[in-house]
Amino acid sequence: MKTLTSMLAGLLLAATATAQTPDYSQFKTDDEENNIEIFKSVSPSVVNITNSRLVRSFYSFNPQEVPQGSGTGFVWNKEGYIVTNYHVVQQADRVTVTLQDGTSYSASAVGVDPDKDLAVLRIDAPDAELVAVQPGDSSQLEVGRKVIAIGNPFGFDTTMTVGVVSALGREIDSVSRRKIRDVIQTDAAINPGNSGGPLLNSLGQLVGVNTAIYSPSGASSGIGFAIPVNTVKRIVPELIAYGRVQTPVMGIRQIPQADYYRRQWGIEGVIVLDVFSGTDPERLGMRGLIRDQRGRIQLGDVIIEIDGQKVRNEDDFADVLEQRSAGDMVKVKTVRDSQIQEYEIRLMPPRSR
């Protein structure tokens, strides 16, 4: 005769066997819904980038294609332009872009800016296959805002990580050793392979381009950096149109190894080596380095301010000019022989390379 306990156990097993699997989708939080929506809408814009170099074989002396590395990029527009980091494609002989559907295209370099670690590629893909990312406004970011990174860390394609803006206004070194300023710091996991991928806000808009991590081990340690989208929006159109950034010039030549000489002479500012003929600096009497009768070098003008912005070094100087256009008038303040000199100089188009 069955006991009451065994009968109840049998009924419970029968009920469990016939019960339907719960619909867990109804338990998603608003934040999870937001993450899922962003991933579905933006991931088609994210691409995988691989590059290779031609290396001569030691045995046959024939050139062989050798994989060099990989990274991430994203579709800028339906004309086939792809944005990524400069260091992702640096020194590559061949670059391949793979879309989310697995289709691969050979890419050509349109323009690069090593100073900001940005590059623009182009692929010949049908419009229907290209989903452009929507640029946002990085000036609206605040510490604590949610951000999402999508990329290809360690070769695992289309991976999403979520974090917050940890800090704003950071500085990191670019490939050219120039400082990239106003960089976004985030704790969203960014690993090797994420470079060049998008950093997104909770609206799915591009707010930065992931570019570097701080890590003793080489893997994510919770400190990643992204170039702000407002910098990207300014630079990418110039790279597309001209192949390089159209920073205007002042008509002066700067001294090489300037940091060394600044320390030697105990000064701050941009040391003018000389001025170019036919420019405003020459016409207005700006002076570069000269040698006295004993052959000793004497300082000429040292630029310390442009339009009220302090200029301490070449990075400051370049940052100010990058915000200007050819034809703009700027007020330049220098020091020469312990005296303040002031000039009004019209900026000129960059010299052809």
82 φ, ψ (degrees, to nearest 5): -120, 130
Structure tokens given for 23: 């619909």
Alpha helices in 76-144 (DSSP H): 86-89
User: 138-242 has which fold?
Assistant: Thrombin, subunit H (2.40.10)
Which residues belong to the active site? 87, 117, 195
pLDDT tens for each residue of the chain, 353 residues long: 456 566 555 655 555 555 555 665 666 788 999 999 999 999 999 999 998 765 555 554 545 444 467 899 999 999 999 999 999 998 888 999 999 999 999 999 999 999 999 999 999 999 999 999 999 999 999 999 999 999 988 778 889 999 999 999 999 988 888 889 899 999 998 888 888 999 999 999 999 999 976 655 555 567 899 999 999 999 999 999 999 999 999 999 998 888 888 988 899 999 999 999 999 999 999 999 988 777 788 899 999 999 999 999 999 999 999 989 999 999 999 999 999 999 999 999 987 55
If you search the block for the tokens 């001209």, which residue do you land on? 242
Burial of residue 22, with CB atoms counted within 10 A of its CB: 0-12 exposed, 13-18 middle, 19 or more buried:
exposed
Residue 188 buriedness (CB in 10 A; 0-12 / 13-18 / 19+): buried
d(CA 310, CA 259): 17
Task: Tell me the Cα Rg of the chain.
Answer: 27
Rounded to 10 degrees, the C-alpha dihedral 321/322/327/330 comes to: -30
Q: Which fold has domain 252-346?
A: Pdz3 Domain (2.30.42)
C-alpha distances (whole Å) from 250 to each of 278, 339, 343 are 12, 21, 11
The whole-angstrom separation of Cα 55 and Cα 93 is: 10
Q: Quote the pTM value.
A: 0.80
Query: Is residue 89 classed as helix, strand or coil in its secondary structure?
Result: helix
Alpha helices in 211-332 (DSSP H): 229-242, 258-265, 280-284, 314-322
Place of tokens 């380095």: 289
The per-residue DSSP string of 145-198 comes to -EEEEEE-GGG--SEEEEEEEEEEEEEEE-TTSPEEEEEEEE-S---TT-TT-E
Reported as a single tens digit per residue, the pLDDT across 229-282 is 999 999 999 999 999 999 999 999 998 888 888 988 899 999 999 999 999 999
- Please name the helix (run of DSSP H) or strand (run of DSSP E) that holds residue 108, with its range, or none: strand 104-113
First to last CA, the chain: 99
Q: Does 138-242 match 42-129 at the fold level?
A: yes
Task: Spell out the domain ranges in the chain.
Answer: 42-129, 138-242, 252-346
> What does residue 18 show for φ and ψ, rounded to 5 degrees?
-95, -10
**Mind listing the pLDDT tens digit for each residue in 268-281?**
999 999 999 999 99
d(Cα 305, Cα 299) in Å, to the nearest integer? 17
Alpha carbons 325 and 316: distance in angstroms, whole number: 16
The domain made up of 42-129 has a fold known as Thrombin, subunit H (2.40.10)
The residue length of the chain stands at 353
